[in-house]
Each structure stands twice: as structure tokens, then as C-alpha cells.
């Protein structure tokens, strides 16, 4: 799925909303309004706590965050919740279960609203599971192979928490990738940011490493 004039896209490697993630302040300032937190991936953990964490973090940055409890498929088809997403200028998907997040959002009214907002210039961010599902293909967290993602950006895959991966696990995922598929390893407290003109840059405390055909390459290969 592509757009001539999408908003910024921020893919975070995990450990979101804490010191080291000051890049959030830039995105909040660019959005010019509150941050809408979708704790969908944390539905089976503690979504309320995730939202409270985000609220506290953005408050410390001089910004405002609020949660939108899209936790089930029924929620994702709720017109009022979809409307809230469509009018937001900064939508942030939390970490948690990538597979639950994908199953809730895929083909839903909320997902259509997110796409519409992004294509209209809104910032979209995802951390950990939230980053994984925004690409297509996505890395399957059950074994490190590849499966269908939501495809906000197509033709790349994200490995979050990359600095915590064992060398063997990282090489296994990279080795399973088709030769023409960039695989992006993103450390915690680190973001790969796609600007509206399609260029990519990094921000935060760690590294973003891109592999193509098993070799490390630059960000310029990303779609």
C-alpha cells in the first residue's frame, strides 16, 4: 500500500516510552496534537497500564497522549473508534502480541481509518509488535520465518529488540529472507523513521541494521 503524500512512519525496536526515546517529542511536535495510543497488541497483558505509561511519558515531553481501547475485532469495527483514528494526527501502536494485533486490525474499519489518516499526512508509529505488523511481509514471532503483515509499507520486514537477539537467531531470520527482501533489525529505544518523501533515517539510543541478500546495506534500499 503506498501513497504520494503519506505522513511520517516511525518503527521502534521496543522498550518504548522511556528515556532514550526522545525522538517521540519530535513526532509529537510535528503532529501538532495529542498522540492516540492503540494498546491492541497488549490486549492480553495490561493495556490500561500501557496507556498510562504512554501518557506519563508524553507528558514529560510536553505533549499529550490518550488511549483508544481497540482490543478486539468488535472494537476494530466500531465506527466511533474508527472515526477517532481517522481524525488523529499521531497514531501509535504499542508492543505486545503481533499476531493478535494483526488479527484484530486486518481488513477492519479501524485499519482503514489508520490508512486514511496516514495517507492524509498523520504520523503513524509502532513499537515492537506494532512495528512488525506495519510491514509486509512480517516476521512471525513464533519462529522467525515470514508471514503476511498489514502492509502499510510493503517489501521489507522488521526484527525488533534486535540488540537482544542471539547471533544464531538473527542469522536464521536473515537467512530465510528472499534475496530481494530487506530485513531491518532495530534495537530497543531506537527508531527507523520514514519521511513523507520516502527517505529513511534513524534516531534513538541504538542501531538500525539493514540486511539484503544476507549482507549489511544502507537505509536507501528500503521502500
Query: Among residues 107, 130, 139, 135, which one has the least CA distance to residue 35?
Result: 130
Backbone angles phi, psi at 53, to 5 degrees: -60, -45
Task: Give pLDDT, residue 2.
Answer: 40
Task: Give pLDDT, residue 222.
Answer: 98
Condensed to tens digits (0 to 9), the pLDDT of residues 185-201 reads 999 999 999 999 999 99
Task: Kindly state the DSSP code that residue 221 receives in the 8-state scheme.
Answer: G
Scanning 36-122, the segments in alpha helix (DSSP H) are 47-60, 73-76, 79-86, 98-105, 109-119
Task: Give pLDDT, residue 169.
Answer: 73
Task: Give pLDDT, residue 139.
Answer: 94
Residues written for the chain: 223
With beta carbons less than 8 A apart as the criterion, state whether 129 and 102 touch. no
Task: Give pLDDT, residue 4.
Answer: 58
What is the arithmetic mean of pLDDT over 103-122? 98
For each of the domains in the chain, give its residue range(s) and CATH number, in order of start: 9-221 (3.40.50.880)
pLDDT band at 166 (very low <50, low <70, confident <90, very high): low
Radius of gyration of the chain (CA): 16
Amino acid at each position: 500500500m503506498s501513497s504520494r503524500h503519506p505522513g511520517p512512519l516511525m518503527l521502534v525496536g521496543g522498550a518504548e516510552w522511556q528515556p532514550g526515546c526522545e525522538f517521540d517529542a519530535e513526532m509529537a511536535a510535528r503532529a501538532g496534537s495529542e498522540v492516540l495510543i492503540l494498546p491492541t497488541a497488549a490486549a492480553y497483558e495490561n493495556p490500561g497500564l500501557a496507556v498510562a505509561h504512554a501518557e506519563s511519558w508524553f507528558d514529560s515531553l510536553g505533549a499529550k497522549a490518550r488511549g483508544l481501547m481497540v482490543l478486539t475485532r468488535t472494537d476494530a469495527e466500531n465506527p466511533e473508534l474508527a472515526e477517532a483514528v481517522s481524525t488523529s494526527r499521531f497514531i501509535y501502536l504499542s508492543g505486545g502480541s503481533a499476531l493478535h494485533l494483526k488479527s484484530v486490525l486486518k481488513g477492519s474499519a479501524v485499519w482503514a481509518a489508520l490508512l486514511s489518516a496516514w495517507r492524509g499526512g498523520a504520523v503513524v508509529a509502532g513499537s515492537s509488535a506494532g512495528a512488525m505488523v506495519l510491514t509486509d511481509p512480517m516476521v512471525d514471532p513464533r519462529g522467525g520465518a515470514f508471514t503476511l503483515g498489514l502492509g502499510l509499507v510493503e517489501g521489507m520486514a522488521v526484527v525488533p529488540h534486535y540488540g537482544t537477539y542471539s547471533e544464531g537467531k538473527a542469522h536464521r531470520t536473515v537467512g530465510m529472507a528472499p534475496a530481494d527482501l530487506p530485513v531491518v533489525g532495530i534495537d530497543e529505544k531506537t527508531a527507523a523513521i520514514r519521511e513523507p518523501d520516502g527517505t529513511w533515517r534513524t534516531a534513538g539510543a541504538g542501531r538500525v541494521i539493514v540486511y539484503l541478500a544476507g549482507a549489511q546495506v544502507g537505509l536507501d534500499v528500503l521502500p
